[in-house]
Structure 1
């Protein structure tokens, strides 16, 4: 009984009323009726006040704390929501609020660690597979030559070229990994300068012209020749961004398709759009295409070449330019990648 608020209130009220009656009995005017009424009133008032105080300021908050601890043990933290803090005279409510906040913070921390662990496992699995493919291919060609095929000149040359191609792919993968790691760790420095964006795009498209001709892809560059398209940024890295995006527009296009590059100028920025009318990207994959090694169609992507790191590098380069890349796509109709750069307003600046 003494473990409940009512039991404790009753004992305290009885003790207070007895002390009150004992004190009043020492006065000369005390009568039995007065003492009885005083005892009753003191008993009732003390009981009510003590019970309300214990119930709402102590026992209720203790019950909430136990409930919160049970939910934490059961890992049922979704129902523990951070509510706006209200002023309260109960220190237990503050303790309860602190426990809830701590549990929510730790739960978020645990979720972050679990996501990082899952990412590491996925990354290790992806990189193991990406490294294994060119290594096993080169290893197979070399072992075939060692088993006697080296005596046949035609077979030897063909297998050596294929082994070299596989090793080149391995080298590109390692270089891309190093580049991405350096960018993420902030080791890579950006050399900002003013350059002519149209000239850069023309160089990239000229470099990829042979690749486009192989698949009968038409390359187009749209811009207003009466305007100056001067940009401020790291020219070499922006060259790599454009090279990767236009190369993808060729690679993932239909035979005989079209890759269109447009450059527009706004008040403070240059906007570059790379559009193709090729395969398109499923909506569920758009959010993940900038992750390392993520491929929309893994088997087809590997047949077409590439390390699976190009778009991740593009994203980091543009973030270094305080810019973001956006993508819109319709499955079977094509995709468009867009990004912006700071425009240089002074046409007298040296154009590169």
Structure 2
């Protein structure tokens, strides 16, 4: 609480001047009625009245305004966190009104922010509950069936235990994603920056997802043959970004479809990695919310494609943690393209992508 007083004498000066003029006129009128004039008395008493009035009025204004405003400062605990409390108290009513108005506006913004956060918290808890209860109830159902006597049938027992295990794996998957995104959003995840070949990393992800893509009859491919391209970043996290994007592409791709990865030069020693498919595509109204936690284009409760609903949110946070950008373009029944930027290293001085690939991000 600031106790230094920033004084404003404007009100006191104006009031004292009015009193001075009134007293002077009154003295002249009285002396006129008495038939004699003492100009020396008027010259001394007028300024004396002005000074006395100035001191008294200023003191009363300070006492009235400062003490009452100080009491508000001290008693309203919310003011302690406001910039309003760090400024000197003023006896100038105009300035004081402006400061109180600014304080009220700041508090309105804080309240609106808290309301938004509360809605976000409710949505988050509801989504977490929805995502967890499905595998939990599934596992519980299989276990209860086994306890009711199905455990004696070897075929049923093995089948139900296998399904229960899949439910537990899904729970572990969701919890791991929740833990990761919490660390990313709080800034507690330390990135292990290193130089690595992005072409080799993409090929490794292709190899990991080869069987999954084959089941959907989707081919994973580069748009051309590339020489090694070295970038700076957390190799493990960038691999997760590529995995999440390619898994989504496979999930929502058409049979006999293609998921293509291309890498292009950008200005300022950057590259852009594009993951393009010819799958279902995404309706325009959903694109602005794609990177929200638990947001799904398919709003039905079936969750037929599985997943934690956190994949794209994790992708966005990882890319932004690297200080880079992610972009998305999509059209229904045509396909989608997700792209993100990365910084190249000096190892690329001898190795360059075709000059014709020098573009800016969409």
Give the equivalent residue in structure 2 for 1:156: 157
Q: In the alignment, does 2:253 pair up with 1:253?
A: yes
Distance, in Å, in 1 between the alignment partners of 2:119 and 2:342 is 35
Give the equivalent residue in structure 2 for 1:308: 309
After superposition, residues 21-170 of structure 1 pair within 5 angstroms as 21-25=29-33, 91-170=92-171
Q: Shift of residue 23 of structure 1? A: 4.8
Give the equivalent residue in structure 2 for 1:280: 281
2:285 aligned counterpart, secondary structure: helix
Task: Detail structure 1 runs of 4+ shifted over 3 Å in the superposition.
Answer: 11-20, 23-29, 298-301
Q: Shift of residue 282 of structure 1? A: 2.3
Cα deviation digits, residues 51-74 of structure 1 (max 9, x gap): xxxxxxxxxxxxxxxxxxxxxxxx
Cα distance change, pair 25–164 in 1 and its aligned pair in 2 (3 A) = same
Distance, in Å, in 2 between the alignment partners of 1:19 and 1:251 is 98
Count of aligned pairs between the two proteins = 284
Q: Shift of residue 260 of structure 1? A: 1.3
Cα deviation digits, residues 129-181 of structure 1 (max 9, x gap): 11111000011011111111112222211111111111100011111111112
Q: What TM-score comes out, normalization by structure 2 length? A: 0.71
Cα distance change, pair 23–101 in 1 and its aligned pair in 2 (3 A) = farther
- Gap runs ≥5 in structure 1: 1-7, 30-89
Give the equivalent residue in structure 1 for 2:244: 244
Q: What TM-score comes out, normalization by structure 1 length? A: 0.73
Cα distance change, pair 216–224 in 1 and its aligned pair in 2 (3 A) = closer
Distance, in Å, in 2 between the alignment partners of 1:319 and 1:346 is 24
- Gap runs ≥5 in structure 2: 1-14, 38-90, 351-362
Cα distance change, pair 26–318 in 1 and its aligned pair in 2 (3 A) = farther
CA contact (8 A) 2:279 2:335 kept: yes
Q: In the alignment, does 2:231 pair up with 1:231?
A: yes
Cα distance change, pair 300–257 in 1 and its aligned pair in 2 (3 A) = farther
Cα distance change, pair 24–331 in 1 and its aligned pair in 2 (3 A) = farther
CA contact (8 A) 2:198 2:228 kept: no
**Root-mean-square deviation over aligned CA pairs:** 2.9
Q: Shift of residue 329 of structure 1? A: 1.4
Cα distance change, pair 93–23 in 1 and its aligned pair in 2 (3 A) = farther
Distance, in Å, in 2 between the alignment partners of 1:207 and 1:320 is 25
Distance, in Å, in 1 between the alignment partners of 2:335 and 2:35 is 100
CA contact (8 A) 1:223 1:263 kept: no
Distance, in Å, in 2 between the alignment partners of 1:145 and 1:345 is 61
Q: Shift of residue 284 of structure 1? A: 2.5
Distance, in Å, in 2 between the alignment partners of 1:316 and 1:251 is 22
CA contact (8 A) 1:197 1:230 kept: yes
